[in-house]
Structure 1
Amino acid sequence: MKVRVGDSRWLRIGIVGTLISLLSACESFNRPQAPAALNSRYNDEQPTLSGDGRWLALVSNRNNNSHILLYDLRGKLFVNLPGLNQSDVIVENPSLSRTGRYLVYISSIQGRPDIALYDRATQRAELLTLGYRSWVRNPQISPDGRYVVFETAKRGQWDIEVLDRGPLIELDIPDGTPVNP
C-alpha cells in the first residue's frame, strides 16, 4: 500500500493529537482535588469521632501533604479549619471533644512531636507541650475538653500523663446543659 504525502501529514497530526491528549489526561489525573467525598483515592487514615457522633476527623494526604480534615457526618461535607494545617508541619493522631469544638493532635515541626490543641470557635491552634523535654504520642481529649491524656517517654518507657487545661477554659458541653462548678 502506498502512502501519499498528504496522508502522512494527517497521520502525524493524528498521532501528535493523541499523544497530547494522553499527556494532558495523565497530568489532570495527578492534580490534587478539593476534598468532596469521604472516601477517595487518597490515603485517609487515623479516624476519630466526636462524642456526639456528628464529626469525623482524619489525617489525609489529599493536598500532597499531611493534613487533618473534619467531616460533618450529618451534612455530608468537609468543614474548613482555618489556622490548623500548615505545609511545613506533619500532623497525626487527632482526637475530638464532645461536639468537635476542640481537636488535639500530634504536630511535628522539624521532626519534634508536640501535642497541639485547635479550638474551632477561635480558629486557633496552640502547642500544649511546647518546651516539654520528652517524646509524646497518642493524645486524647476528654469529652468536655478540659483534660488531655497522652503517652510520654519521660522515664525511658511509655507512661501515661494527664494534662489539666484548668477550670477557666470554656467547656465543650451541649447547648442548654447546666454547668456545675
Structure 2
Amino acid sequence: MPKTPAQRWLHWGITLTVAGLFVACSTMPNPLSLGSLNSGYSEEQPALSGDGRFLAFVSNRNGRRGILLYDVQRQQLMDLPGLNRPGEIAEHPSLSYTGRYIAYIADDRGRGIVAVYDRAIERSQPLTLWYRGQVRHPSISPDGRYIVYETGSRGQWDIEVIDRGPNIELDMADSPPSAEIKN
C-alpha cells in the first residue's frame, strides 16, 4: 500500500528524532579535549610563569581537583608526577620564572600547608608542617628561593616569608629551558 505524503513526513520525522536521540545519548568525546587549555570542567586560579611559557591552574578534570600545567608554546598539558597525590587537594599555584618550581597549598586531611613542587626532581616539599594556623595564597619569587603566603594565626591575615636557603638550585632566566626539565 503506497504511503501518503503525510505518512512519509511522519516516518522521516520519527527516524530523524530517533537518530538524534541516539547521537545525543551516545558517548562522544568532549569537543574540548582533556589535553587542551580549556575543557568542559571548571578551570580556575591561573598563574603564569615569569617567562610566559607555562600556565598553572586548578581543574577538576580526571575526577578530582588538582593543579595542571599547560605549556603555552607547545599548546599541551605537561605531566606533573607526584604533585596531585590521592587524598590531597592542591590549590592556589604560583610559578617561578621558568616554571621549574610550583608553590601551592596542599590540603591534606583538612589541614592546609604551603608546599613547593620541583619539576626537575618530580617531588613536593612541604614547608609549613610546623605551622598551626591557617595558610593561603602562596606566591613564589621568580628564582624560587622565597615564598610568601598569608597566615591566620593571630586572628587576622598576616604575611609570612619563607627563605628556602642559599643552597637551593635557583630558577634563573639563563638556566636550561623548562621544556628540558622532565616533561
Shorter-normalised TM range:
0.7 to 0.9
Root-mean-square deviation (Å)? 2.4
Cα deviation digits, residues 41-77 of structure 1 (max 9, x gap)? 1101000000000000000011110111000001111
Report matched runs for 1:140-159 at 5 Å: 140-159=139-158
* Secondary structure, aligned partner of 1:145: coil
Q: What is the deviation of 1:110?
A: 1.1
- Check the 8 A contact 2:58/2:67 in 1, yes or no: yes
The answer to whether 1:80 aligns with 2:98 is: no
SS of equivalent to 2:105: strand
In 1, Cα distance between equivalents of 2:160 and 2:80: 28
Overall identity of the aligned pairs, in % = 54
Q: Which residue of 2 aligns with 1:162?
A: 161
Ranges in structure 1 where 5+ consecutive residues have no aligned partner:
1-13
How far apart, CA to CA, are the structure 1 residues paired with 2:100 and 2:172? 9
In 2, Cα distance between the equivalents of 1:95 and 1:109?
Answer: 19
Q: Deviation per CA, 1:86-116, whole angstroms, max 9, x where unpaired? A: 2311111000000000001110011110011
Q: Deviations over 1:121-159 (max 9, x none)?
A: 000011111121111000000000000000001211100
SS of residue matched to 2:149: strand
Distance 1:128-1:56 versus aligned 2 partners, 3 A rule: same
Q: For residues 108 and 73 of structure 1, what CA distance do their matches in structure 2 show?
A: 27
Q: In structure 1, what residue type is equivalent to 2:156?
A: Q
Aligned pair count? 159
User: What does 1:21-170 correspond to in 2, within 5 Å?
Assistant: 25=26, 28=27, 35-170=34-169
Q: Cα–Cα, structure 1 residues 122 and 59, in superposed 2: closer, same or farther, change >3 Å?
A: same
Unmatched 5+ stretches in structure 2: 1-14, 177-183
> Could you say if the C-alpha distance between residues 29 and 98 of structure 1 is closer, same or farther in structure 2, counting changes exceeding 3 Å?
same
TM-score, normalised to structure 1, is: 0.80
Distance 2:105 2:133 in 1: 13
Moved over 6 A (4+): none
**C-alpha contact 2:33 2:39 (8 A) present in aligned 1:** no
CA distance in 2, matches of 1:83, 1:176: 23
Matched residue type, 2:110:
G
Counterpart residue type for residue 170 of structure 2: L
- Separation of aligned partners in 2, 1:85 and 1:100: 16
CA distance in 2, matches of 1:154, 1:172: 31
